[in-house]
Structure 1
Amino acid sequence: MFLRNKNLSSSVSTDMMKKQKRYEALVKALHADIFRYAMWLIKDKAIAEDVVQETFLRAWKSLDSLKDEGAAKSWLITILRRENARRFERKQFDLVDIDDVSVADPINFGDVVLEHRELRRIIGDLSEEYREPLMMQILMGFSGDEIAEQLNLNKNTVMTRLFRARNQIKEALLGDQTKGEQVNG
Structure 2
Amino acid sequence: MSGNNFETASVSTDMMTKQRRYEALVKALHADIFRYAVWLIKDRTIAEDVVQETFLRAWKSLDSLQDEAAAKSWLITILRRENARRFERKQFDLVDIDDVSVADPKATDASDTQQRDLRRAIAQLADDYREPLVLQVIMGFSGDEIAAQLDLNKNTVMTRLFRARSQLKEIMTNNSTIGAQING
Structure 2 residue aligned with 1:144:
143
Question: Would the alpha carbon gap of residues 104 and 143 (structure 1) be closer, same or farther in structure 2, given more than 3 Å must change?
Answer: closer
User: How much does 1:184 deviate?
Assistant: 4.2
Structure 1 residue aligned with 2:103:
106
Structure 2 residue aligned with 1:127:
126
Question: Would the alpha carbon gap of residues 7 and 70 (structure 1) be closer, same or farther in structure 2, given more than 3 Å must change?
Answer: same
Secondary structure of 2:74's partner? helix
Matches for 1:33-182 after TM superposition, within 5 Å: 33-94=32-93, 106=103, 109-110=107-108, 111-182=110-181
Which deviations, in whole Å up to 9, do the C-alpha atoms of 1:90-109 show, x marking residues without a partner?
3233489xxxxxx8863653
Secondary structure of 1:140's partner? coil
| Distance of 2:133 and 2:41 partners within structure 1 | 16
Report the aligned-residue RMSD: 2.1
Question: Would the alpha carbon gap of residues 104 and 21 (structure 1) be closer, same or farther in structure 2, given more than 3 Å must change?
Answer: closer
Secondary structure of 1:60's partner? helix
| Distance of 1:104 and 1:91 partners within structure 2 | 27
Q: What is the identity percentage for the equivalent residue pairs of Structure 1 and Structure 2? A: 71
Question: Would the alpha carbon gap of residues 123 and 104 (structure 1) be closer, same or farther in structure 2, given more than 3 Å must change?
Answer: closer
Amino acid at match of 1:153: L
TM-score, normalised to structure 1, is 0.88
Amino acid at match of 1:84: N
Structure 2 residue aligned with 1:99:
none
Which deviations, in whole Å up to 9, do the C-alpha atoms of 1:125-154 show, x marking residues without a partner?
111110000011111110111000111111
Amino acid at match of 1:181: A
Larger Rg: 1
Which deviations, in whole Å up to 9, do the C-alpha atoms of 1:57-87 show, x marking residues without a partner?
1000000011111111100000001111111
Secondary structure of 2:88's partner? coil
Structure 2 residue aligned with 1:14:
13
Structure 1 gap segments, 5+ residues each: 97-102
User: How much does 1:118 deviate?
Assistant: 2.1
